[in-house]
């Protein structure tokens, strides 16, 4: 029905999930199915002298054991590729099972296939690997120091790439004439994604047809098929069917092509039986691509009035042991391009070095580069406020790109299409009662309150709705970033929609049904949405980068344009009117100016399929496909404000309030959008206060279980106060911008700014996340508290 | 599993009101027993070390982590899984209805465990505060929702269950 866009339609996905009938990867069972367990390196860096599999292979119930040598001796490709190349980048080979050297704790060396998972685990213990441990390096700055252990001969100094963007000379000149400059060394802490469902797959190779069916925890089944066809398996794409069943969260970690799904497929091809592999929690934590892990030196230059003249950043970004699927893009084009934030900055220069370390690979994790950029910019802005004597609100206002200045070309490649930064900040200030908060803080400080109140603000921008294919192609992407949408109208008028976006909790089935129902003026229940299966859906790029509504939704919208255009031709023919005079409104075609002449949607659709009387030259049927290629990124923005209270005696932080005002453009389903904001906030607040993937110097993941790695829990978080301003995206048909990542982009800086604000009486200017009580207690006491 | 295998044990238990008897290895986890022996895949395994709560089931009415419980421990006890709550998708239990209405789930992987934790909580605490709910939820991880809509859903469920006289 029209008007259904913008309403909180309840999710059609939920009933099955609530009664325990959702089918996730590990819930599938195929006849004659076997179970694989991967034998992984316990060392961060070691040479493999030998792998003895005899005892494991003889264990009762074991079907086969394969090593990296077996993969090399087979006719599959056996390597996982990276999907984004930068000039001069070193891309050492990443074999699906190591043969000579392991480069992180978790690197696979062998695989055991058995009749059940318990037997496979027993037998994995019987695989004897003779390792010769090598020196390891896990810290991103230590890895580029003189004398550091080297991961690859072809990447001297452990440098994969040295990339820069912006005008170095103009930036240097800006710093030369600045009245104020501020600099800081900061870290962006390494994170483990922690989707509650661990990664897994079920591979079934049919050796008579030569077809592989793969159920896999993926955010993008077609991308998996493409990469597996090109590199890891070398099977033709038309002989591979990849199915994303219910996927239990992803947050980026299920974008990437990992060795594991290629290993399971290889095993199935070898033994001719289905092979299931499901990671344990500690295994998924060891091997999922981690997020963030930057060390940056950042500087900002301002004139006497507090107007920003320039910004300069040098970042060392950990890549881990191998280049994961999109890894090179994350600390470059998804990071450096965002360093203008919401601000008019005439000169920016950023240099990023991609650094190999003996850790799990690092790749896109919710926000992917944009939280890191926001952290740099929003920390510098607060420090600049301190240096110039301006308030943190005033310095932002003085530097915002004005709402009259769009489109705005930044100094780092992006052209912001729209925005109203003052509007979002005004709303956040109002909603938080900002002036009263500052007054309360002043009063409490003067009274010597031992509970230190801090107020943090962060104004963020993101570039999402990934992405214009020709632009990303020029920047090194090895794929386009359009999306597919196919609308199949059935003879009786109901609709099945096929989308290349692949949901894993976002509610695409509901949201996209709303788009179709609104456009065709039919009930949402008349629309079925199909996703996540390369056997059913046209080639598409999947769900990440807050792209599904902006790109996938737009593809459906443009396919609907085609459907309506064709059905209008048929209606005009039926109404004996000129096509130009026929309008589609309220589920019927009307002749303009002749209210009595109209033809219902159902009659026109049926006529398309009966084909008894179609306009000359028009094919029967009503089914249209669109590949929507966005003309620009979308640019959601907002301002977030939070209040913390720090116990000066223990250093413990209590997050008391969190106010988020986001502008994500038009909203299709407010309930779902709120849920996305909340989830992003929890992850960003988790990064700020608790989460940290810690490696020992010799390569052990010390925070590898949920007992050591603090994922936020319900009682850790306040009630989020959210609101929106609406500045529609000017260049896509739905006017939507994307919301999946906003919360995780803004909140690390918001919370950190609040904690630093609380500690400012102790002379604290900056602290790195996570802001643990120990770190805070030390900061207070180091400065004479 | 073969009955002559010395590690094989007969377990007789009641699951969702039905008596079941199986030969199992003594080391078989209750979560694997429910999922793979009985096909009750609504119980999910998220961490296998008792932290995430996705595998929570009721053991004689009390919430337990089925990944930290052996199947043989269920001998002569009553187990309830998420599948026991509603007769079908058209007739949800009030707690499920509340999660649907309040958008208390996204990917749904943690949801079964959360429902099976919150149900006995609400039976003992029919009028919880937001803070009570947050603490009761603190043993269950959800990575999607930021918990806010889950808290809303549990409070809504409490209200619905009170008006229903505490029964589904």
Write the secondary structure of A523-586 as one string of H (helix), E (strand) and C (coil). CHHHEEEEECECCCCCCCCCCCCCCHHHHHHHHHHHHHHHHHHHHHHHHHHHHCCCHHHEEEEC
Tell me, yes or no, if A239 comes closer than 8 A to chain B by beta carbon: no
Q: B48 and chain A: CB distance < 8 Å anywhere?
A: yes
Q: Cβ of A24 under 8 Å from any chain B Cβ?
A: yes
* pLDDT class of A659 with cuts at 50, 70, 90: very high
Q: Which residues contact A442 (CB under 8 A, 6 or more apart)?
A: none
Describe the strand order of the beta sheet including A720-724 as a list of residue ranges.
A451-461, A637-647, A653-663, A720-724
> Which residues of chain A lie closer than 8 angstroms to B40, CB-CB?
20
Render pLDDT for A87-146 as a digit per residue (tens, 0 to 9): 999 999 999 999 999 999 999 999 999 999 999 999 999 999 999 999 999 999 999 999
Determine the 3-state secondary structure of A254 from DSSP.
coil
Which residues of B fall within a CB distance of 8 Å from A193?
143
Q: Determine the residue of chain B that is closest to A27 in CA distance.
A: B41
Residue of B nearest to A199 (CA): B46
Structure tokens at B139: 């043993």
The pTM for the full model equals: 0.97
Nearest Cβ partner of A715 from B82, B112, B134?
Answer: B134
| Chain A touched by B144 (CB under 8 Å) | yes
Residues of A in contact with B31 (CB under 8 A): none
* Cα A4 off chain centre by: 28
- Whether A633 shows a pLDDT value over 50: the answer reads yes
Q: Does A107 touch chain B (CB under 8 A)?
A: no
Inspect the interface and report whether the beta carbons of A246 and B47 lie closer than 8 Å: no
Q: Quick check: B95 and B149 in contact, CB under 8 A?
A: no
* Domain extent listing, chain B: 8-84, 94-163
Chain A, window 136-165: residues with a beta carbon less than 8 angstroms from a chain B beta carbon: none
User: What token pair was written down for A726?
Assistant: 């609406």
Give me the residues of A, 410-429, that contact B with CB < 8 A.
none
Residue B125 pLDDT greater than 50, yes or no: yes
Dihedral over alpha carbons A609, A614, A616, A621 (to 10 degrees): -20
Nearest to B109 among A248, A507, A677 (CB): A248
Instruction: Test A671 with B103 for CB contact under 8 angstroms.
Output: yes
Which residues in chain B have their CB less than 8 angstroms from residue A715's CB?
131, 134-135, 137-138
Beta-carbon contacts below 8 Å between A and B: 188
Residue A701 contacts residue A285 (beta carbons within 8 Å): yes
CA distance to partner chain B, nearest, from residue A61 (Å):
11
pLDDT band (50, 70, 90) for residue B6 = low
Would you call B144 and A675 a contact, using CB atoms and an 8 Å cutoff?
Answer: yes
Contact A26 B35 (CB under 8 A): yes
pLDDT computed for residue A753 by the predictor: 98
CA angle A488, A493, A497 (to 5 degrees): 30
Residue scoring higher pLDDT (B7 or A361): A361
Residues of chain B above pLDDT 90, percent: 89
What is the bridge-based pairing of β-strands A495-499 and A483-489?
Answer: antiparallel
Asked whether the ipTM of the predicted complex exceeds the cut of 0.95, the reply is yes
A706 vs B108: CB contact, 8 Å cut-off?
no
Over the stretch A207-263, which tens digit does the pLDDT of each residue have?
Answer: 999 999 999 999 999 999 999 999 999 999 999 999 999 999 999 999 999 999 999
- Please provide the CATH number assigned to the domain covering B8-84: 3.10.20.30
Closest by CA to A292, choosing from A372, A379, A198, A224, is A372
pLDDT tens for residues A466-521? 889 998 998 999 889 999 999 999 999 999 999 999 999 999 999 999 999 999 99
Nearest to A17 among B49, B111, B130 (CB): B111
| Long-range residue pairs from A142-150, CB within 8 A, at least 24 positions apart, any chain | A142/A697, A143/A318, A143/A355, A143/A356, A143/A357, A144/A316, A144/A353, A144/A355, A149/A45, A149/A358
* A450 vs A49: CA distance, rounded Å: 59
In chain B, what percentage of residues exceed pLDDT 70? 94
Q: Would you give the DSSP letter of residue B36?
A: I
Q: In this predicted model, what pLDDT tens digit does every residue of A281-331 receive, in sequence order?
A: 999 999 999 999 999 999 999 999 999 999 999 999 999 999 999 999 999
Predicted confidence (pLDDT) per residue in A375-425, tens digit: 999 999 999 999 999 999 999 999 999 999 999 999 999 999 999 999 999
Mean pLDDT of B28-51: 97
State the average pLDDT for chain A.
97
Q: Which of B45, B103, B137 sits opposite A714 (nearest CB)?
A: B137
Task: Identify the CATH homologous superfamily for domain B94-163.
Answer: [2Fe-2S]-binding domain (1.10.150.120)
Q: Does A711 touch chain B (CB under 8 A)?
A: yes
pLDDT class for B165, splitting at 50, 70, 90? low
User: Which of A640, A163, A606, A148 lies closest to A392, judged by CA?
Assistant: A640
The CA R_g of chain A, rounded to the nearest whole Å, is: 27
Q: Sorting pLDDT into bands at 50, 70 and 90, what band is A783? A: low
Domains of chain A, earliest start first: 14-134+197-248+254-287 (3.90.1170.50), 294-466+632-781 (3.30.365.10), 482-628 (3.30.365.10)
């Amino acid at each position: 029905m029209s008007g259904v866009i913008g309403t909180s339609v309840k999710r059609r996905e939920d009933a099955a999930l609530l009664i325990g009938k959702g089918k996730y990867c590990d819930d599938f069972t195929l006849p004659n199915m076997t179970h694989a367990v991967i034998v992984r390196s316990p060392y961060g860096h070691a040479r493999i002298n030998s792998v003895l599999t005899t005892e494991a292979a003889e264990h009762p119930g074991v079907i086969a054991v394969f090593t990296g040598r077996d993969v090399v001796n087979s006719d599959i490709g056996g390597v996982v590729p990276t999907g984004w190349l930068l000039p001069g980048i070193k891309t050492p080979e990443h074999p699906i099972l190591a043969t000579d050297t392991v480069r992180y704790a978790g690197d696979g060396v062998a695989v055991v296939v058995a009749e059940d998972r318990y037997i496979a685990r027993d037998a994995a213990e019987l695989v004897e690997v003779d390792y010769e441990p090598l020196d390891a390096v896990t810290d991103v700055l230590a890895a580029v120091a003189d004398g550091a252990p080297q991961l690859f001969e072809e990447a001297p100094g452990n440098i994969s790439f040295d990339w820069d963007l912006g005008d170095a000379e103009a930036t240097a000149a800006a710093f030369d004439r600045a009245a104020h400059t501020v600099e800081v060394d900061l870290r962006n802490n390494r994170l483990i994604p922690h989707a509650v469902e661990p990664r897994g797959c079920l591979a079934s190779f049919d050796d008579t047809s030569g077809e592989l069916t793969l159920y896999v925890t993926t955010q993008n089944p077609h991308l998996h098929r493409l990469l597996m066809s090109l590199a890891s398996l070398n099977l033709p794409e038309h002989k591979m069917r990849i199915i994303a069943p219910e996927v239990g969260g992803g947050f980026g970690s299920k974008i990437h092509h990992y060795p594991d799904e290629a290993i399971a497929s290889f095993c199935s091809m070898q033994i001719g039986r289905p092979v299931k592999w499901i990671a344990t929690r500690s295994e998924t934590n060891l091997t999922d691509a981690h997020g963030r892990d930057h060390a940056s030196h950042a500087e900002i230059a301002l004139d006497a009035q507090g107007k920003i003249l320039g910004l300069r950043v040098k970042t060392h970004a950990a890549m881990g042991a191998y280049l994961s699927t999109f890894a090179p893009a994350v600390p470059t084009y998804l990071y450096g391009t965002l360093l203008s934030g919401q601000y008019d900055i005439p000169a920016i220069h950023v240099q990023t070095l991609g650094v190999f370390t003996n850790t799990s690979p690092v790749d896109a994790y919710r926000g992917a580069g944009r939280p890191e950029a926001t952290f740099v910019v929003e920390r510098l802005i607060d420090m600049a406020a301190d240096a110039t004597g301006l308030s943190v609100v005033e310095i932002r206002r003085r530097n915002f790109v004005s709402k009259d200045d769009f489109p705005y070309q930044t100094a780092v490649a992006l052209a912001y299409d729209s925005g109203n930064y003052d509007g979002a900040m005004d709303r956040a200030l109002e909603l938080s009662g900002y002036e009263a908060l500052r007054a309360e803080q002043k009063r409490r400080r003067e009274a010597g309150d031992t509970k230190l109140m801090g107020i943090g603000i962060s104004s963020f921008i993101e570039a999402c709705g990934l992405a214009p294919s020709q632009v990303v192609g020029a920047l090194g992407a090895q794929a386009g970033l359009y999306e597919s949408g196919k609308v199949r109208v059935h003879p009786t008028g109901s609709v099945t929609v096929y989308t290349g976006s692949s949901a894993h909790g976002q509610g695409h089935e509901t949201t996209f049904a709303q788009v179709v129902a609104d456009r065709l003026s039919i009930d949402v229940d008349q629309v079925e949405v199909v996703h996540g299966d390369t056997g059913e859906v046209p080639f598409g790029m999947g769900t990440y980068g807050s792209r599904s509504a902006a790109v996938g939704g737009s593809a459906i919208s443009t396919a609907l344009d085609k459907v309506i255009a064709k059905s209008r031709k048929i209606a005009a023919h039926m109404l004996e009117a000129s096509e130009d005079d026929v309008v589609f409104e309220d589920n019927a075609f009307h002749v303009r100016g002749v209210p009595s002449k109209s033809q219902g949607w159902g009659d026109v659709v049926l006529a398309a399929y009966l084909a008894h009387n179609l306009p000359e030259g028009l094919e029967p049927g009503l089914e249209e496909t669109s590949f929507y290629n966005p003309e620009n990124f979308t640019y959601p923005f907002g301002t977030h404000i939070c209040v913390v209270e720090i116990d000066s005696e223990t250093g413990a932080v209590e997050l008391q309030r969190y106010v988020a005002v986001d502008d994500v453009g038009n909203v299709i389903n407010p309930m779902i959008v709120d849920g996305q904001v909340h989830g992003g906030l929890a992850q960003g607040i988790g990064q700020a206060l608790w989460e940290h993937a810690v490696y020992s110097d010799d390569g052990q993941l010390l925070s590898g279980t949920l007992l050591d790695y603090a994922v936020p829990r319900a009682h850790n978080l306040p009630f989020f106060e959210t609101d929106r301003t609406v500045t529609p995206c000017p260049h896509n048909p739905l006017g939507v911008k994307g919301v999946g990542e906003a919360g995780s982009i803004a909140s690390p800086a918001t919370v950190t700014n609040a904690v630093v604000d609380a500690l400012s009486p102790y002379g604290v200017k900056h602290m790195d996340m996570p802001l643990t009580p120990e770190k805070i207690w030390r900061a207070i006491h180091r400065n004479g508290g | 599993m073969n009955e002559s295998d010395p590690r094989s044990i007969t377990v007789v238990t009641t699951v969702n009101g039905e008596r079941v008897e199986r030969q199992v290895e003594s080391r078989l986890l209750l979560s694997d027993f429910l999922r793979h022996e009985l096909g009750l895949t609504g119980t999910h395994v998220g961490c296998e070390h008792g932290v995430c709560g996705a595998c929570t089931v009721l053991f004689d009415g009390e919430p337990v982590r089925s990944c930290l419980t052996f199947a043989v421990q269920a001998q002569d006890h009553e187990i309830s899984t998420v599948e026991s709550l509603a007769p079908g998708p058209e007739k949800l239990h009030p707690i499920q209805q509340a999660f649907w209405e309040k958008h208390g789930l996204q990917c749904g992987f943690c949801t079964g465990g959360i429902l099976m934790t919150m149900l006995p909580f609400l039976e003992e605490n029919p009028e919880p505060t937001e803070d009570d709910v947050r603490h009761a939820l603190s043993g269950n991880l959800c990575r999607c929702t930021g918990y806010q809509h889950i808290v809303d859903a549990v409070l809504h469920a409490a209200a619905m269950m009170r008006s229903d006289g505490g029964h589904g």
